[in-house]
Structure 1
């Protein structure tokens, strides 16, 4: 945790969820009400097909709803894409950009991720910018070099803490059940904090850095307690309200 930073617990549903899954969002929405919501933010990013109805379910709830990607342009002949303005029009508040699955499956590079983050900012959305190393890069001792390059290339100039979140997702730990050691996570997050602070000053020192590699109820408390870990970007465990809320509520103990 970073004492002066408000944590964010975010769920990325990826290509999962139909109308029948809305009960889980409703349960999460109800579960984050109460005293903890004044200290910890909660967010779910469902597939685009559920975006509008999910925001409608969460009216007057502390639970925010976001999207999983956006196009870098505001409009145009881009079949199948959605713009940041469209997300905002559906009352979404956040958008994930540069997730490793987008970088890998769609060959997205840092420059494109940066452009998408700029589009998010222009639409008054919070951009959750994902970075992280592959297993091969980790074996070759390139982790910090990769993080440095992706931070520099993916974050727009002038980014601020209010509208920018960084998510560290070691690619080799996503969906594999593997998790870096506490020391590994602490080293990576401390490095990112230094890089952000050097580039953005006070804004960089309070920009939220989430951890996003196989976070589960069983390991959440240990991970969220690490310095400079300001929350989590959760994959599979966010699909069930019980699991998401168990992770969210670790802050009841951490903030006690």
Structure 2
């Protein structure tokens, strides 16, 4: 029995060493990579070469057997931003290769974290950018709303994309898109909201305006004034015409 116990102890020890050798490299990089990923979601900019350096370090350990979901998410986001930068400075073939890698990383990350709404949005954006609009891609956009209907920075990037294809979305998702716009106005994201209205059709504008009935009056007034300055003629609920031109 003592020999069996000793053998089990040795096996457990070896297992711990092997696990550590496989998992620790990605553990060490997960925290700084996740910080960069959060900054990408917030659409921040980075010094030249910073993302390439981090991505090279991540790829050197990404073949490990054990990867944390946060590591995969960050790698997908960094790969996508690097691909976007490559599209601006490299040949079309090289850029497309980078985007293909980024799409693969997004799928891998979503396989481990299917509740990541921003990753679903980015997958939709990548597929549309590579291949043009296809109704088959709408599931990715719809999943972004299903998994995260009201998420600050994500909404600022998602709402106009969704509005461009509003009529093709499921009715429940359409309501989520309209409600998201109202939440943006209520949170005083006025410039983004104005840009959304400017790019909307007349029918869409009517739906967007109707959603603002219960939004904070100060936010509605600010929106109406900015629209008036931009020459956009819409009726913002609860804001009389004479209030729109006041400084």
Same fold (TM over 0.5): no
Write 1 or 2 for the structure with the bigger share of helix.
2
For CA contacts below 8 A with separation 6 or more, give which structure has more relative contact order: 1
Name whichever structure is richer in strand by fraction.
1
Q: TM-score, normalised by structure 1?
A: 0.30
Of structures 1 and 2, the larger Rg is shown by 2
When the two structures are superposed, what TM-score results if normalisation uses the length of structure 2?
Answer: 0.31
